[in-house]
Amino acid sequence: MQKRKLGKSGLEVSAIGLGCMGMSHGYGPASDKNEMISLIHAAIDRGVTFFDTAEVYGPYTNEELVGEALAPFKGKVVIATKFGIKMVNGKQVLDSKPEHIRQSVEGSLKRLKVEAIDLYYQHRVDPEVPIEEVAGVVKDLIQEGKVKHWGLSEAGVQTIRRAHAVQPLTAIQSEYSMMWRTPEEELLPTLEELGIGFVPFSPLGKGFLTGTIDKNATFVESDFRSIVPRFKPENLEANQVLVELIKKIAAGKNATPAQIALAWVLAQKPWIVPIPGTRKLERLEENFGAVNVVLTPEELSDLNDALSKIEIAGDRYPAGSEYANRTGK
């Protein structure tokens, strides 16, 4: 597995990481814990050193899973987790008050079975707490040796600049894929300027870019995609044009659609590290195989040209929902 550095921070990780959320949260019922531990170990066997979780996934159960799975590999892997969202009466509530961050870090350290968190993200920007205050608390945690690097998830560029001025950011995590290219407008140029790494989640468009989902797909209530406009039957059908394009390129490169989608993300910048998630060993191997798929500058240019002519149907979050309102702040 190739390695990449997240911006100027010096934090080196495998070129593709593993998003662990779906193992216990967000995509239907949680999977068997022992099976998921085996899957995480299989990722390590294949050279993966970067694992992503969060306090709220479960809540707590995903961090416990990741902590147990990675306990034998201390010092050999990089674990990213997140603070700033808590559950209140079954609903997600933003809370980045200093005392809550300190409470969260202690819980995460215990569940992850580590002395210091490698990469600690604010999960979503809390409009009630100035970002400078959040950055100040994290700066203290870094000085205390409880956190090594920090980042923001789904933050807007002004917030990123303000946070970075107080305590330099190592990475920003946001959605990015052939389906969702908005980060190219403001976010990527800002990160390049500041020397901050980028960790795209949903680089496979929540599974759509694998080419295995069509208009007849159904999602259980506990699968987040059941409320996502992009996954309504009419939008799934309209967006097949993107899948057909990817399949055509995959056939020419002796690769799978998922590998082309990930290779495209990797080809954008050398400081981008996507974190596709999966619960299946064959998908794990397929995803990691993307590092060996090379898109030439000409192929990339042709592909981007074709992508620019495709209009994606359906938003990534329901309009007016708290999910939509918490991004790009």
Q: Which residues are designated catalytic?
A: 57
Interacting residues of 259 by C-beta distance below 8 A, sequence separation 6+: 250, 253, 286, 287, 289, 290, 293
Are the CB atoms for 24 and 55 separated by under 8 Å? no
- What is d(CA 21, CA 317) in angstroms, rounded to the nearest whole number? 18
Check the CA dihedral 212-214-220-225 and report its sign: positive
Are 95 and 85 a contacting pair, CB within 8 Å? Answer: yes
Nearest to 124 by CA among 88, 95, 153, 151: 153
Give the number of other Cβ atoms within 10 Å of residue 132's Cβ: 12
d(CA 87, CA 40): 26
